[in-house]
Structure 1
Amino acid sequence: MPPSTPDFRLDGYEAVNDRVAECFWQHIEIDHRELTVLAEHHTPDDQHSYFVLHNGAVTWGIPGEPQLVALHLQRDVQARTFRFQHTPLPLPSMAQSWLIARGCPKESIGLRADMGPDAADEATTALEERLMSDCDHFALVTSYTDDNPDSMQTTVLLRAIDEKAPVPFRVLLEEVDTDTWTHTLREGTFTTFKEATDWWEAHWSGQGVLLPTAPPAARRTALPTKPSIPAPPAPRNGPSR
């Protein structure tokens, strides 16, 4: 087994019930050979495993779909059974944040240095660090991943869970330089859903629009006291084909 292929450490374990077994097969095991480990952590008592995975099978599916999977395995070491939670996400820092919110130590789920691409600048590193800590303050509305080697990039539209946030909509833009094998990540803020989706459509139509930025004080959002109303459906449109 190649080092980057996940070892789920489930030898001798069975799913806790048939529904979990079927879901694990449909969402994880069926693509096992296409999964690459970007980060992982296993607790000393073997009760929990956390993974950030890249699913290569997605590149052959619906254009724009998230290519990363955050996976949390929970084992009952006495009964020899397991459960799991997972979610597809577009950016590694978002997958890390999701796992941290489920008990994974932040310092234990760093990305493997050999998997790249590296952050191109301090602004990228700082934003990724912040997303790992407060990305759960936002709901994912939509994303689009373009893995064309000539223009590898990902856009993510988020909505603040706190309905009182002064700038409730945010767009993340990750761009990969395949010559240097580095990436940049930038954040833009919008006061309305229409403003955010107008930028989104202009960006993917090649208009070269810049992301509007927010002052540092507005970048963190207080933890919510109640769920927000979901944003209107957002288009998953990417580059014209």
Structure 2
Amino acid sequence: MSPTEPAPTRKSLPEVDFELDEFDADEQVCLDFYRQVAVSEDMLVPLTEHHTTDGGHSYYVLFDRTATYGHPGMPQYVAVHLQRHQERRTFDFERARLPLPAIAQSWLIHRGCPPDAIGLNPKLGPPSADETTRALERRLAGDGDHYAMGYSYTRDDPDDMVTVVALRALDERARSPFRVVVEEVNTDAWTHTLREGGFATVDEALQWCEDRLTGKAGPLPPVRPAAEATRPAALPKAPGPRPPGRSR
């Protein structure tokens, strides 16, 4: 989803500042940071950020306005954890490209960011349409490390703005070993909904994602009770977004 109002101006968007002017790193870290983050710095919109009082750590959830330009399906959010070594004036970083803000928040929380310090800026992006969405977003942010992400596809089309994400539960006792989370943006009401469904196999989960992207999906199946959970097979990690339609 776009983190802007329906007719924003560029000046209305906040800019990100990584505060690294007085810090350095070895050549490989500097090159990686430039290629993975800084090269598109002027197109990154900070949806939330948190800095420790000593300046040693910074956490960012960023919206990349260039993500889907020429790269259909690419996740639009970038989570960045910066660690500054004050005495040496050097820095390290971790970065992940993720399909939903709640998943980016979870990634940062499990790298030391306080959960109550990384709330999204309510002025950016369409708000949640209902309590079901808000509850699922809270659970994804808090329990995101309970799942492995194997596939996602983001469609940034005003006529059908949708993101589908396939997850595998890491706990064999979890309800429904495979989940699909789908976010849909209502561009007329300027709100978004988040829903999840449960699947017994990876093929069923990926098939539902394909069907949703091609307009053939039925309702998401409910998450199964814990008593019905079985040990999941591995969910292969996709190398990147795949276009709608997959080989059988």
- Separation in structure 1 between the aligned mates of residue 244 and residue 154 of structure 2, nearest angstrom: 8
For structure 2, the 5+ residue unaligned runs are: 1-9
Q: After superposition, what is the alpha-carbon deviation per residue over 1:97-138, rounded to whole angstroms, capped at 9, x for unaligned?
A: 000000000110000011021000000000000001111110
Contact 2:208 2:217 in 1 (8 A): no
TM-score of the superposed pair, with normalisation by structure 2: 0.87
What is the alpha-carbon root mean square deviation over aligned residues? 2.1
SS of equivalent residue, structure 1 residue 152: strand
Q: Which residue of 2 aligns with 1:107?
A: 116
Report the alpha carbon displacement of residue 176 of structure 1 after superposing the two structures with TM: 0.2
1:85-234 equivalence runs, <5 A? 85-214=94-223, 218=226, 230-232=234-236
Contact 2:46 2:62 in 1 (8 A): yes
SS of equivalent residue, structure 2 residue 67: helix
The one-letter amino acid paired with 1:236 is: R
Contact 2:44 2:65 in 1 (8 A): yes
The sequence identity of aligned pairs, in percent, is 49
* Closer, same or farther: CA 42–158 of 1 in aligned 2, 3 Å: same
* Closer, same or farther: CA 170–6 of 1 in aligned 2, 3 Å: same
The one-letter amino acid paired with 1:209 is: G
Q: After superposition, what is the alpha-carbon deviation per residue over 1:14-54, rounded to whole angstroms, capped at 9, x for unaligned?
A: 12x11111100000010011100001000000000000001
For structure 1, the 5+ residue unaligned runs are: 222-227
TM-score of the superposed pair, with normalisation by structure 1: 0.89
- Separation in structure 2 between the aligned mates of residue 12 and residue 76 of structure 1, nearest angstrom: 11
- Separation in structure 2 between the aligned mates of residue 135 and residue 20 of structure 1, nearest angstrom: 27
Q: 1:55 aligns with which of 46, 64, 72?
A: 64
| Length, aligned pairs only | 230
Q: 1:13 aligns with which of 23, 45, 49?
A: 23
> Which 4+ residue blocks in structure 1 deviate beyond 4 angstroms?
none
Contact 1:166 1:191 in 2 (8 A): no
Q: 1:34 aligns with which of 43, 47, 65?
A: 43
- Separation in structure 1 between the aligned mates of residue 56 and residue 245 of structure 2, nearest angstrom: 43
Report the alpha carbon displacement of residue 208 of structure 1 after superposing the two structures with TM: 3.7
* Closer, same or farther: CA 214–229 of 1 in aligned 2, 3 Å: closer
Contact 1:146 1:238 in 2 (8 A): no
Q: After superposition, what is the alpha-carbon deviation per residue over 1:166-204, rounded to whole angstroms, capped at 9, x for unaligned?
A: 521100000001112110000001011121122122222
Greater shift, 2-11 or 183-192, is seen at 2-11
- Separation in structure 2 between the aligned mates of residue 236 and residue 230 of structure 1, nearest angstrom: 19
